[in-house]
């Protein structure tokens, strides 16, 4: 039973958008997964507010904001992974 060599593993070609600039790509990606940019904005705003509280000397609120930032980052990462899984399932 001599089987031939296995077929070459070639990934399916990715869709290309030749005339797509940064703004168009950003808008397309935002429409595909709107929770990621929203999570990024939330994380950045919590971070900025935490730094402001730290500069003012409110260590309790600053510590609370840094913990909230970690939670917001986790939610953003979960949204990113969820979007990747949804895109992979949709492409099949």
Question: What pTM, to 2 d.p., does this model score?
Answer: 0.69
Phi, psi of 76 (to 5 degrees): -65, -45
Half-sphere exposure of 79 (CA within 13 A, CB side): 19
Tell me what the mean pLDDT of segment 62-81 comes to.
96
- What does the domain layout of the chain look like in residue ranges? 61-91
Which pLDDT score is estimated for 60?
A: 96
Q: How far apart are CA 51 and CA 68, in angstroms?
A: 13
Q: How confident is the model at residue 25 (pLDDT cuts 50, 70, 90)?
A: confident
Q: What is the CA radius of gyration of the chain?
A: 21
Q: Where are the alpha helices (DSSP H) in 1-92?
A: 22-32, 35-56, 59-91
How many residues are recorded in the chain?
Answer: 92
């Amino acid at each position: 039973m001599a089987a031939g060599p296995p077929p070459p593993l070639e990934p399916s070609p990715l869709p290309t958008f030749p005339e797509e600039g940064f703004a168009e790509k950003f808008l397309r990606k935002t429409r595909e997964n709107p929770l990621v940019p929203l999570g990024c904005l939330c994380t950045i705003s919590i971070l900025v507010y935490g730094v402001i509280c730290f500069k003012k000397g409110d260590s309790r609120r600053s510590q609370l904001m840094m913990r909230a930032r970690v939670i917001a980052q986790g939610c953003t990462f979960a949204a990113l992974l969820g979007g990747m899984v949804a895109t992979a399932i949709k492409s099949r």
